[in-house]
Structure 1
């Protein structure tokens, strides 16, 4: 590691209740985060952003909750293909 560079490791967690089919249970969800020195770590030949754009080549078969609004609107003709694949 370069002189003066820091590396921090952290864990963010969220405690909540999950209810599935009438059964409720306590759960803890989270992610491990590692903050690296961007000048010496992860050097790529071509620069890539943290969240690069993804070009979808097919309609999803399973949707995340946050994606449902996007796919189930009248302005999305692809949404009909989701039901046709069954």
Structure 2
């Protein structure tokens, strides 16, 4: 295994470079596939949560009388 700092050869099982003492532990970095999969799972979870909450809270929704919301009426009926 080569040291990323000084390019010295080290054993494959070494944790530190024998020449410069730098760490030889390879850091994991996420790929584009990992990001896409993670975002897909998050978006799918949010969609499922939205529809589940909408379905569960349906009994608590109330009908608003049309007198309270005149701007939702058709324009012909407002000025009568």
TM-score by length of 2: 0.22
Choose 1 or 2 for highest CA Rg: 2
Q: From the two aligned structures, give the one with the greater helix fraction.
A: 2
Larger RCO (CA within 8 A; separation ≥ 6): 1
TM-score by length of 1: 0.21
Q: From the two aligned structures, give the one with the greater strand fraction.
A: 1
